Amino acid sequence: MEECAIADKAFDLIIIGGGPAGLTAGIYAARARLSVLLIEKGLCGGQIAATEKIENYPGFTEPLGGGELTSHMEAQAKEFGLNIKTFAQVESVSERDGSFLVKTGDETFSALTLIVATGATPARLGVPGESEFTGRGVSYCATCDGAFFRDKDVIVVGGGNAAVEEALFLTRFAKKVSIIHRRDEFRADKILVERAAKDERIEFLLGYELASIEGDGKVERVRIKSNKDEGEKIIPAEGVFMYVGTHPNSSFLTNIIKLDERGYIITQEDLGTSRRGIFAAGDVRRNGAKQVVIAAGEGALAAISAQRYLSELAEE
Amino acid sequence: MAQGSVVYLNKENFEAEVIKASGPVLVDFWAAWCGPCRTIAPILEELASEYSSRLKVCKLNVDENQETAASYEIMSIPTLILFKDGAVEKRLVGAMPKKSLVEALSDWLR
Give per-residue burial for B10-19: e unless 16+ CB within 10 Å, then b.
Answer: eeeebeebbe
Mutation to test the A interface, candidates B75, B79, B101, most A Cβ within 10 Å? B75
- For residue A118, give the nearest of A227, A253, A232, A235 by alpha carbon: A253
Closest partner CB to A43 (pick from B39, B75, B91): B39
Task: Provide DSSP, A38-64.
Answer: EE-SSSTT-GGGG-S-BS-STT-SSPB
Indicate the SS3 state at residue B109.
helix
Distance from CA of A184 to the nearest CA of B (A): 30
Q: How far is B19 from A55, CA to CA, in rounded Å?
A: 46
Residue A76 Cα, gap to closest chain B Cα (Å):
20
Q: Is the pLDDT of residue B26 over 60?
A: yes
Helices and strands (DSSP H and E) totals, chain B: 5, 5
Q: Chain A residues with CB inside 8 Å of B79's CB? A: 135
pLDDT of residue A105: 82
Catalytic residue status for A144 = yes
CB B9, CB B58: distance < 8 Å: yes
- Closest chain B residue to A139, measured at CA: B76
- What integer best gives the mean pLDDT of chain B? 91
What angle is formed at CA A238 by the lines to CA A235 and CA B41, rounded to 5 degrees?
A: 145
Burial class (CB in 10 A: 0-12, 13-18, 19+), B86: exposed
Higher pLDDT, B35 or A292: A292
pLDDT at A4: 39
Least CB-CB distance to A135: which of B34, B76, B95? Answer: B76
Task: Give the span between the Cα atoms of A79 and A34, in whole angstroms.
Answer: 14
B3 pLDDT exceeds 50? yes
Please state which of the ranges A111-120, A177-186, B53-62, B93-102 shows the lowest mean pLDDT.
B93-102
Burial readout A32-67 (b: 16 or more C-beta within 10 A, e: otherwise): bebbbbbbbbbbbbbbbbbbbebeebeeeeeebebb
Q: What is the ipTM score, two decimals?
A: 0.78
Q: Which of A144, A184, A199, A270 is catalytic?
A: A144
* pLDDT per residue as tens, chain A (316 positions): 333 344 558 999 999 999 999 999 999 999 999 999 999 998 899 988 888 788 889 999 998 888 899 999 999 999 999 999 998 999 999 999 889 999 998 899 999 999 999 999 989 999 999 999 999 999 998 988 999 999 999 999 999 999 999 999 999 999 999 999 999 999 999 999 999 999 999 999 999 999 999 999 999 999 999 998 889 999 999 999 999 989 999 999 999 999 999 999 999 999 999 999 999 999 999 988 789 999 999 999 999 999 999 999 999 8
The whole-number average pLDDT for the span B18-40 is 92
Which DSSP category does B17 fall into? I
Q: What is the pLDDT of residue A8?
A: 58
Q: According to the model, what pLDDT value does residue A6 have?
A: 46
Question: In angstroms, rounded to a whole number, what is the distance separating the alpha carbons of residues A215 and A170?
Answer: 21
Band the pLDDT of B34: cuts 50, 70, 90: confident
Looking at residue A95, its amino acid is E
Phi then psi dihedrals of residue A177, to 5 deg: -120, 120
Contact criterion met (CB < 8 Å) for B76 and A145: yes
Among B39, B50, B91, B98, the residue to mutate for chain A (most A Cβ within 10 A): B39
User: Is B93's CB within 8 Å of A135's CB?
Assistant: yes
Positive or negative, the CA dihedral B76, B56, A43, A247 is positive
Q: Report the share of chain B in percent with pLDDT over 70.
A: 97
CA distance B68 to chain A (A): 13
